[in-house]
């Protein structure tokens, strides 16, 4: 168990996290803003790597973990939107990538295949080599498509099933 990990856009200063350092002294407990000058071990240009940051203050040390990720470039997700933090979290952990590199599609409908991929990624993309994919018509689910492993996993685990007509409907929209 690696505990809590702070997410930060790659290239940003640790100062932007707004963390406080709790310090016990002879007068009681004090809280100081954590600054980058107190820290060692953070490489802001090394995204997608869990880094352990060591904090040194006076004669005491502590550490925490940080996960830098490339900043989002989605034109349709503004920082003042209610869902910004959720999209940022899903993007930072590579659970969702957006419809392309600059458009997330937060207001777009979600297709069954996309939903299967999201759940599959949340589970860490389990191995499907021993699972038999459901037999769907070739016009419905095409072997080798971007979602085939996720659909195979979801079907075999009973999380998502096909329709009674024998189709999966990967492009069909779901209700959110």
Helices 112-122, 148-157: crossing angle, 10 deg rounding: 80
pLDDT in tens, 26-41: 888 988 899 999 999 9
| Mean pLDDT within 142-171 | 89
The pLDDT mean for the chain works out to 88
Q: Global pTM?
A: 0.64
The token pair at 13 is 């200063």
Would you say residue 166 has pLDDT above 70?
Answer: yes
pLDDT in tens, 51-85: 999 998 888 888 999 999 888 889 999 999 999 98
Would you say residue 176 has pLDDT above 80?
Answer: no
């Amino acid at each position: 168990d690696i505990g809590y990990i702070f997410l930060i856009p790659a290239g940003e200063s640790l100062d932007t996290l707004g963390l406080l350092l709790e310090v016990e002294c002879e007068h009681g407990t004090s809280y100081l803003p954590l600054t980058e000058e107190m820290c060692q071990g953070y490489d802001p240009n090394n995204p997608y790597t869990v880094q352990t940051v060591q904090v040194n203050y006076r004669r005491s040390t502590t550490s925490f973990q940080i996960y830098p990720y490339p900043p989002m470039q989605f034109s349709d997700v503004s920082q003042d939107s209610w869902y910004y933090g959720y999209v940022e979290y899903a993007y930072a952990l590579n659970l969702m990538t957006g419809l392309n590199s600059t458009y997330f599609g937060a207001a777009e409908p979600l297709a069954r295949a996309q939903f299967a991929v999201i759940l599959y990624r949340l589970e860490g993309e389990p191995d499907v080599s021993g699972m038999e994919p459901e037999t769907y018509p070739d016009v419905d689910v095409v072997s080798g498509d971007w979602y085939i492993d996720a659909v195979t996993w979801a079907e075999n685990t009973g999380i998502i099933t096909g329709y009674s007509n024998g189709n999966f409907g990967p492009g069909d929209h779901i209700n959110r």
